[in-house]
Amino acid sequence: MKRRTFVRSSLEAAAGLAVVSRASSLWAAGTPVRQSATSPSASSAVQRYASAVQKMKALPATDPRNWQNQAKIHDNFCPHTNWYFLPWHRAYLFFFEQICQDVLGDASFRLPYWNWSAGNSIPQPFLDRSSPLFDSTRTRTSVPPEVVAQGVITRIVSSNALIDLFSGATSTGDQRQGSNQGLLESGPHNGVHASILGDMGNFMSPLDPVFWLHHCNIDRIWASWSKGQGHTAPTAPLWANHVLTQFYDSSTKQQVKPKASLMAGGKWLVAYDSYEQSSAAPHVVPRAMQEHMMMTPPTKSAGRATARVRTLAGQSTASADVAVGVGTKIPVQITGDLRAFVGGIASPAALGVAQQKQAHLVIEDVPAPASPTTSLRVFINCKSPSLQTSLTDPTYVGTISFFGMGHGAMAEMKATTFSLNITDVLRRALESAGYVPNSPVEVGLVAVDLSNPGRVSQREVIRPGRIQIVALGS
């Protein structure tokens, strides 16, 4: 089997961040676990998966377990750009895995996952044209390292801000209400969809058998984060009591709507062979603050309880066109001393640890790019951001991609609001000599075509809405 070597990203190397824990034997011997598709011991799981896919594709269209019917569940109900994103996809994986077990007659079957940070090409068995795992609509079979680099993942599992994992809170129980996207959704999640495209480029993406391995890895990142101190799922009733609509339970042959709060544990939290490690020293995040680290878009949060821990540092007064391949700077006017936004917070002495504020950049209402592979590299106070600016530059925040834009059922997804944790980058910028309070922060945006990173087009532009810098933490 020919395996491509993963190009270790310079970002990761520069950050010197820890890698995945290997071969941890956290599970009791014999308990089936979801394994990395490229690990030698997973070859049987991959083969069984191929056979399950073949069987599901052969089921009649009247059978809810049929391959197309499973993908339609996603098209009809999947939540994106809000905090139901993770629990909904966890339930979706659970019931899909159960159908695989059912058609295989093998209750020990667990889905393999695709750890794109360790190998950014679609696992080899999925590239075999004669395999049920093949999808002829893919336009690419690998993902640029910048969207899946180990450093990106380590930052996410180390985060103390719920929004970085779960994306933004909704204001109602509407499962498809657009809020905003956090680091996990806008970065690796969207980046993988936007790179592979074909079926993976839209809400029928579960038609591509690799979709399920992609989402297992997203789910594994949530499971990894959950192992961190103070890292618990939201408890806000709007999240916890939400009934996730809706799945087919092949064991009871019923349509089911489990509650979101259930997804944080029990049978829904399936074991993995390996988890991501957090790089940060453990933080204890006070419960109340943790709840509020799920911010809503500024326009929707007025008068809500979040004001107590959510402070606006400043915002842009004008936007600009960001052309593909070209760097653009948008100033954010600041009132006050930004250093107060990234400092430590004295925590109750009993806890004995410092709680840190989290600064977020909120880029509002970014319209869908003309080309679905166009993404945005984001910088803070970079002198001249361009395609050539190194991703190891200390001013680089990350790369955000688009997914699901313009889906008919989601009017609100014509434009997306992104929330990026900029705590570390902003602190570095402020530590550099000569910071003067009240001076603007320059947000650098470079539109990059992931399928052709050198492409320059003055005609293809993205014009974001307002940009804000907010602090989370009282």
Rule CB under 6 A: choose which of 34, 80, 138, 176 binds ligand C2O: 80
Give 160 or 224: the residue with its C-beta nearer to ligand C2O: 224
Alpha-carbon gap, residue 422 to 425, rounded angstroms = 5
> Residue 86 interacts with ligand C2O (CB under 6 A)?
no
CB 326 within 8 A of CB 455: no
Select from 72-80, 158-166, 343-351, 385-393 the region that touches ligand C2O (CB under 6 A).
Answer: 72-80
Alpha-carbon gap, residue 462 to 40, rounded angstroms = 43
> Residue 122 interacts with ligand C2O (CB under 6 A)?
no
Give 117 or 306: the residue with its C-beta nearer to ligand C2O: 117
Least separation in angstroms between CB 189 and ligand C2O: 6
Least separation in angstroms between CB 402 and ligand C2O: 12
209-228 positions binding ligand C2O, by CB under 6 A: 215
Alpha-carbon gap, residue 263 to 93, rounded angstroms = 11
> Residue 231 interacts with ligand C2O (CB under 6 A)?
no
Give 203 or 396: the residue with its C-beta nearer to ligand C2O: 203
Give 42 or 192: the residue with its C-beta nearer to ligand C2O: 192
CB 196 within 8 A of CB 140: yes
Least separation in angstroms between CB 247 and ligand C2O: 13
DSSP assignment string, 15-43: HT---PPPS---SPTT---B-BTTSGGGH
Least separation in angstroms between CB 307 and ligand C2O: 31
> Residue 78 interacts with ligand C2O (CB under 6 A)?
yes
Least separation in angstroms between CB 65 and ligand C2O: 19
Give 224 or 356: the residue with its C-beta nearer to ligand C2O: 224
Radius of gyration of the chain (CA): 22
Give 82 or 121: the residue with its C-beta nearer to ligand C2O: 82
- Dihedral Cα 10, 13, 18, 20, nearest 10 deg: 50
* Residues near 230 by beta carbon (within 8 Å), at least 6 away in sequence: 160, 282, 283, 284, 285, 290
Which residue number is nearest to ligand C2O in terms of Cβ? 78
> Residue 193 interacts with ligand C2O (CB under 6 A)?
yes
244-273 positions binding ligand C2O, by CB under 6 A: none
Q: Which of 9, 120, 67 is nearest to 398 (CA)?
A: 9
Q: What is the end-to-end Cα distance of the chain in Å, rounded?
A: 54
Tracing tokens 């979101």 back to the chain, one arrives at 260
Least separation in angstroms between CB 454 and ligand C2O: 27
Give 211 or 396: the residue with its C-beta nearer to ligand C2O: 211
Distances (CA, A) of 245 to 204, 350, 414: 17, 42, 23
Phi, psi angles (nearest 5°) of residue 256 = -130, 155
Compute how many other C-beta atoms are within 10 angstroms of the C-beta atom of residue 12.
22
Size of the site for ligand C2O (CB under 6 A): 8
**Buried b / exposed e along 104-125 (16+ C-beta atoms within 10 A):** eeeeebbbbbbbbbbbbbbbbb
Select from 14-22, 73-81, 126-134, 145-153 the region that touches ligand C2O (CB under 6 A).
Answer: 73-81
> Residue 176 interacts with ligand C2O (CB under 6 A)?
no
> Residue 189 interacts with ligand C2O (CB under 6 A)?
yes
> Residue 74 interacts with ligand C2O (CB under 6 A)?
yes
* Amino acid, single-letter form, for residue 453: P
Select from 74-82, 110-118, 305-313, 354-362 the region that touches ligand C2O (CB under 6 A).
Answer: 74-82
Give 133 or 213: the residue with its C-beta nearer to ligand C2O: 213
Give 189 or 300: the residue with its C-beta nearer to ligand C2O: 189
CB 27 within 8 A of CB 271: yes
Coil, strand or helix at 364: strand
Least separation in angstroms between CB 89 and ligand C2O: 6
Angle value at C-alpha 18, between 12 and 19, nearest 5 degrees? 85
Least separation in angstroms between CB 425 and ligand C2O: 26
Least separation in angstroms between CB 181 and ligand C2O: 12
Give 74 or 110: the residue with its C-beta nearer to ligand C2O: 74
Alpha-carbon gap, residue 213 to 116, rounded angstroms = 10
Alpha-carbon gap, residue 20 to 276, rounded angstroms = 5
Least separation in angstroms between CB 168 and ligand C2O: 16
Give 155 or 193: the residue with its C-beta nearer to ligand C2O: 193
DSSP-assigned letter for residue 172: S
Least separation in angstroms between CB 85 and ligand C2O: 7
Least separation in angstroms between CB 211 and ligand C2O: 7
Residue ranges in contact with ligand C2O by CB under 6 A: 74, 78, 80, 89, 189, 193, 205, 215
